[in-house]
Amino acid sequence: DAGITQSPRHKVTETGTPVTLRCHQTENHRYMYWYRQDPGHGLRLIHYSYGVKDTDKGEVSDGYSVSRSKTEDFLLTLESATSSQTSVYFCAIMGDLYIGQFFGPGTRLTVL
Amino acid sequence: KNEVEQSPQNLTAQEGEFITINCSYSVGISALHWLQQHPGGGIVSLFMLSSGKKKHGRLIATINIQEKHSSLHITASHPRDSAVYICAVVSNTGNQFYFGTGTSLTVIP
């Protein structure tokens, strides 16, 4: 299994509070991604990174920010959580697009 | 508008049946991936295709680049094949992935 972990695995928080999700890899892969998965939607890209300090927005980036200060860590921050951000969040890493992405176990976030 | 469409959305089969899941896409791609998501939520990659056909055990994946269509076949289906199967394409304009909404497969003993 690819070395990719996410923390926390479950979180319940209140509207308006800041939340940070962490993705950690031990594969030294260049690309890292944050997705959210909701019923009726495919995985949707929030932000991705193509190197340390190099990040870009995905299709659902509003309300989220990211940081990558080290190759192994990619942080997703909700500055002020809203109920619409209740979702399952997946991190993925990729070294070679012809091999594909490896996914973390997911984080279930509930915003009350 | 979804860049990737899958059909059917839900599929129930008897053990032993031959299963086909379809994926159509509307963007130019450099590769297509089939993923499997088990009820526990974990997602694993099954195949990467850029042309032709690939086989792994009872799973066969095909792609027709001209028609922008891919199929995933499962021969001699088994209850342990029950999962959500997701089609994902990599756009040829960058390293972004686009995902279908998945096909939920249930195989009944």
* pLDDT at res. B83: 96
For residue B50, give every residue at least 6 positions away whose Cβ sits within 8 Å of its Cβ, in sequence order, or none: A98, B30, B31, B32, B63
- Shortest CA distance to A1 belongs to which of B84, B99, B42? B42
DSSP three-state, residue A64: strand
- Alpha-carbon distance values, A63 to A33, A110, B12, B79 (Å): 16, 15, 38, 40
Average pLDDT over residues B43-67: 93
Question: Nearest residue on chain B to A101, judged by CA atoms?
Answer: B45
- pLDDT over 80 (residue A5): yes
DSSP B20-70: EEEEEE-S-EEEEEEEEE-TT--EEEEEEESSEEEEETTEEEEEETTTTEE
Do residues A101 and A4 lie in contact, with contact meaning Cβ atoms separated by under 8 Å?
no
The residue to which tokens 């990599």 are assigned = B90
Whole-number pLDDT of residue A20: 98
Nearest to A48 by CA among A37, A36, A33, A66: A33
pLDDT at residue A1, as a whole number: 55
Share of chain B above pLDDT 70, in %: 97
Share of chain A above pLDDT 70, in %: 98
Q: Model confidence at A42, in pLDDT bands (50, 70, 90)?
A: confident
Instruction: Give pLDDT, residue B40.
Output: 79
- Residue B66's contacts (CB-CB under 8 Å, 6 or more residues apart) are none
* Contact call for A103 and B98, based on CB within 8 A: no
A14: distance to nearest CA of chain B, Å?
Answer: 24
Task: List residues of chain A with CB under 8 Å from any CB of chain B.
Answer: 31, 33, 35, 40-45, 48, 50, 58, 88, 90, 94, 97-103, 105-106
CB spacing of A94 vs B95 below 8 angstroms: yes
Residue scoring higher pLDDT (B42 or B63) = B63
Checking if the pLDDT of B1 tops 80, the result is: no
Q: Distance from first CA to last CA of chain B, Å, rounded? A: 37
Token code pair at residue A25: 């890899």
The mean pLDDT value of chain B amounts to 93
What pLDDT shows up at residue A78? 97
The single residue listed with the structure tokens 């890899």 is A25
Tens digit of pLDDT for each residue in B59-96?
999 999 999 999 999 999 999 999 999 999 988 886 67
- The distance of A74 to chain B (nearest Cα, Å) reads 17
Residue A101 confidence (pLDDT): 86
What pLDDT shows up at residue A76?
Answer: 98
Spatial separation of the C-alpha atoms in residues A64 and B41, rounded to whole Å = 23
A49: chain B residues, CB-CB within 8 Å: none
Return d(Cα A2, Cα A87) in angstroms, integer: 24
Question: With bands split at pLDDT 50, 70 and 90, how would you rate the model's confidence at B24?
Answer: very high
pLDDT value for A2: 64
pLDDT at A23 (0 to 100): 98
Which residues does chain A have within 8 Å of residue B1's beta carbon, measured at their own beta carbons? none
Q: How far apart are CA B88 and CA B75, in angstroms?
A: 22
For position A96, what pLDDT does the model report? Answer: 79
Rounded mean pLDDT of A12-18? 97
Nearest chain B residue to A91 by CA distance is B43
